[in-house]
Chains A and B, each alone.
Chain A
């Protein structure tokens, strides 16, 4: 095999899927889980579940310890150090909604929120609706031909009225790294808060929130080989006090009586209700597993697979790749063929890819496409997976032409 994955056996679901003749290439939507995560969740439930930050009993102490250990592991993964706090949410979407509601009080009519044309709905709709509620201007940064935010255009669009900049690190449709450093440097002198949607970026390579210098960074555990139902919001120490408490109840409260209450600071103040305890512990185990891998080997593997995918697609007649994908995924359309038809025939052949608008309807509309097929990779994929995909693609195209 040209590109084998040394980590494939660490993910038991891959073998199961293979027995069902399924080739899983929808990793930008969610990933399969390492055995280490299954073991950790099983261990937690088999050894005594308990709520966290509440009870003095021993199971409660164990659960709280494991939960807080995961928080430290996430902080290490992001190299947050003492620069900020890690808040657990239910996903990147809920982290971004927390920001859009918790920061609402900072905005007044005429203020501007800047996003980009490639945002996932999760980093578009919370800001769009906040702009509607408060009479704000939603400024949309355009893209260049490679699917990268146009920094020259951004110079004219990020200005003194910009109160917040919220952009993706890596596009879930175009697979292109975005020029965060440049954009954040444009926003900072105007005192704008900066939010990075790291949902896709976090999965590829290691990212340092201190070096990045953003105020907030959000991602979902389930795309990073962790459990679903868990999200992470990093907030910088000097940005967090701007964030008002949003969801209320449970241990986020400091003191309550019938007519008033005071709330805890971050992180606990933003974790209302019982958090996804098993999931958070599972994420910690996933990060332990990922930390044990050679990061250069993972990067090299992902790059080799991506190159293999991109070359294979470009070698086929009529295939049009969207943008200039650099890593992780490739979205494409085929001239004269409806993506829904292609998706249908790929599904029939056990190829699990995504078709449609990829939760980025305005982006697809701007590209005058009704949809596209997206193939997205993970560290357990190998070139045989891609060969099976190419074979199925050729067969589908043959039938549709």
Chain B
């Protein structure tokens, strides 16, 4: 499976960083690139439960391809979500089912963000994405 263009860019950028400061700054930059979520999507029904911050996630299949959109009031999780969307947006339903998302964050050098003790909500976001993709299949 070939990586989406944004994912290739993310991978190159994150694999090149040396220090935690660079990684954190880059996360924030990716978060700022995340397109604004429409106000009508910022409703409780789209809130991901289990995050320390507010995270909204919506996703729909358009012409057989997934388009997710998300936002958060915290910057780091917004960056993590942006990296997630870079990997999954544009995938077909079958491709989304097949993608190993924890491995994706591992490749980015961000696997610690998925450890069970982290309450930043990335795990909850992945879970929510799985649920969304299953209900609309």
Interface positions of B from 33 to 77, Cβ below 8 Å from A: 51-54, 73-77
From A341, A356, A371, A395, give the contact of B76 (CB < 8 A). A341
Bound-state CA distance A351–B74 (Å) is 20
Selected interface stretch from B6-14, B17-25, B98-106, B126-134: B17-25
Residue in A340, A343, A356, A399 whose CB lies within 8 Å of B24: A399
A338 to B119, Cβ gap below 8 A?
no
Task: Kindly list chain A residues whose C-beta atoms are within 8 Å of the C-beta of B28.
Answer: 399
Report the nearest A residue to B23, measured CB to CB: A348
Enumerate chain A residues within 8 angstroms of B21, measured Cβ to Cβ.
Answer: 395, 399
Distance from B125 Cβ to chain A, minimum over Cβ atoms (Å): 13
The reply to whether the CB of B89 lies closer than 8 angstroms to some CB of chain A is: no
Per the bound structure, the CA–CA distance linking A53 and B76 in Å amounts to 54
A338-B20 in contact given A356-B119, A400-B75 (Cβ < 8 Å): no
**Which chain B residues border A400 with CB–CB below 8 Å?**
75
B74 x A338 contact (CB < 8 A):
yes
Pair A399/B120 contact, Cβ less than 8 Å: no
The distance from the CB of B27 to the nearest CB of chain A, in whole angstroms, is: 9
Is A338 a contact of B75 with CB atoms below 8 Å?
A: yes
Cβ-closest chain A residue relative to B25 = A399
User: Contact between A340 and B53 (Cβ–Cβ < 8 Å)?
Assistant: yes
**Inter-chain contacts of B74 with A (CB < 8 A):** 338, 340-341
CB nearest neighbor in B for A355: B52
A-B contact number at CB 8 A: 40
B53 pairs with A349, CB closer than 8 A: no
User: Quick one: closest A residue to B76, CB to CB?
Assistant: A344
Chain B interface: which size bin? 10 to 19
Q: Which of B25, B51, B120 contacts A344 (CB 8 A)?
A: B120
Chain B proximity mask over A339-376: 1 for CB below 8 Å, otherwise 0: 11101110011000001100000000000001100000
B53–A370 contact, CB under 8 A?
A: yes
A349 to B24, CA, bound (A): 11
A276 to B102 Cα, complex, angstroms: 37
Q: Smallest distance from the beta carbon of B65 to chain A beta carbons, Å?
A: 31
B34 to chain A, nearest CB (A): 15
Chain B contacts of A355 at CB under 8 A? 52, 119
Contacts of B77 in A (CB 8 A): 340
Distance (whole angstroms) from the CB of B21 to the closest CB of chain A: 7
Contact A348 B24 (CB under 8 A): yes
Decide if B20 touches A349 in the complex (CB within 8 Å). yes
List, in ascending order, chain B residues with CB within 8 A of A371's CB: 52
Name the distance in Å between A399's Cβ and chain B's nearest Cβ: 6
Residues on B with C-beta less than 8 A from A343 are 52
Residue on A with the closest CB to B54? Answer: A370
Give min CB distance, A165 to chain B, whole Å: 32
* A343–B113 alpha-carbon span in the complex (Å): 12
A339 CA to B73 CA, complexed, in Å:
10
- Contact: B24 with A344, CB < 8 Å? yes
A355, B28: Cα distance in complex, Å: 19
How far apart are the CA atoms of A13 and B51 in the complex, in Å?
Answer: 30
| Cα–Cα, bound, A338→B120 (Å) | 12
Most buried by B among A338, A356, A395, A400: A338
Q: In the complex the two chains form, what is the Cα distance from A370 to B54 in whole Å?
A: 9
Q: How far is the CA of A341 from the CA of B51 in the complex (A)?
A: 12
Which residues of A in the span 291-326 have a Cβ within 8 Å of any Cβ on B?
none
Cα of A395 to Cα of B20 in the assembled complex, Å: 12
A-B contact pairs, 15 of them (CB 8 A): A338-B74, A340-B52, A340-B76, A340-B77, A341-B74, A343-B52, A344-B76, A344-B120, A345-B76, A348-B24, A370-B52, A370-B53, A395-B21, A399-B25, A399-B28
Q: B residues bordering A, Cβ < 8 Å?
A: 20-21, 23-25, 28, 51-54, 73-77, 119-120
- Other than the known A338-B73, A370-B54, A399-B28, what 19 A-B pairs have Cβ atoms closer than 8 Å? A338-B75, A340-B52, A340-B74, A340-B77, A341-B76, A343-B52, A344-B120, A345-B76, A348-B20, A348-B23, A355-B52, A356-B119, A370-B52, A370-B73, A371-B52, A395-B21, A399-B21, A399-B24, A399-B25
Report, nearest first, the 10 A-B pairs whose CB atoms are least far apart.
A338-B74, A340-B74, A344-B76, A340-B53, A340-B52, A348-B20, A341-B75, A356-B52, A341-B76, A341-B74
